[in-house]
Amino acid sequence: MNALTISVALLWVAVIALALLVWALSRQVGVLFERVAPMGALVTDAGPAVGAAAPRMSLASLTGAPIEVGAAAAQATLVFFLSPTCPVCKKLLPVLRSLQRAEAGRLAVVLASDGEPERQREFIRQQSLEGFPYVLSTELGMAFRVSRLPYAVLLDDAGRVAAKGLINSREQLDSLLNAHDLGVASIQQYLDRDTPAQAA
């Protein structure tokens, strides 16, 4: 009986010790999360700079009417470069659908790719992308110097580049919109600008 009592007591001590360790670990994770700056889209120096006029192009769409890229418009335009063979691109398609619904009337989302039209049409059918303007243009990718996918360029209503970058997650996609709302080229630029003010 004494051995059973001792073993139960030791088990309770172990449970309490584990609970304290989990609490301390979760507290440290919270502190670490507060200290780590948000990671925005990876901005490259290639292509038109943020604030510059975007190349103006009239492009046919596989899913509807022709699209004017770089022209003045009633709303901002997000040009999202993707490929049927890009797994990260496919992972972000639900995010783009959600963004299109949430920002309707404020933001137009245009999908851009290149390659064989028939393969692209099959990709559109498989992924149910009929609700997006979908353009095929090697020239558009070259104009923005797109070298890796997925890549996105946010154009303001005047046709200027508001933000751009390599996108691998919803947070990075959101960072383009946040940078535009804050009037900066990227979230990193905003944080760098804000840090001296906080230190002072």
Give the pLDDT band of residue 32 (cuts 50, 70, 90).
low
Looking at the structure, tell me whether residues 96 and 149 fall in a common domain.
Answer: yes
Q: Which of 57, 47, 41, 44 is nearest to 142 (CA)?
A: 47
Looking at the structure, tell me whether residues 95 and 31 fall in a common domain.
Answer: no
Contact predicate 54/160, CB 8 Å: yes
Domain count for the chain, please give it: 2
Model confidence pLDDT, tens digit, residues 74-127: 999 999 999 999 999 999 999 999 999 999 989 999 999 999 999 999 999 999
| pTM listed for this prediction | 0.74
Does residue 49 sit within a domain? no
Assigned token pair, 63: 């899913």
Give the pLDDT band of residue 182 (cuts 50, 70, 90).
confident
Assigned token pair, 36: 């780590």
CB-based burial label for 57 (10 Å; 0-12, 13-18, 19+)? middle
Does residue 70 sit within a domain? yes
CATH number at residue 138: 3.40.30.10
Q: Which of 59, 85, 39 is nearest to 140 (CA)?
A: 59
DSSP H helices, the chain, are: 2-35, 87-102, 117-127, 138-143, 170-182, 187-199
Looking at the structure, tell me whether residues 78 and 122 fall in a common domain.
Answer: yes
Contact predicate 153/54, CB 8 Å: yes
Does residue 28 sit within a domain? yes
Does residue 47 sit within a domain? no
Domain region containing 112:
57-199
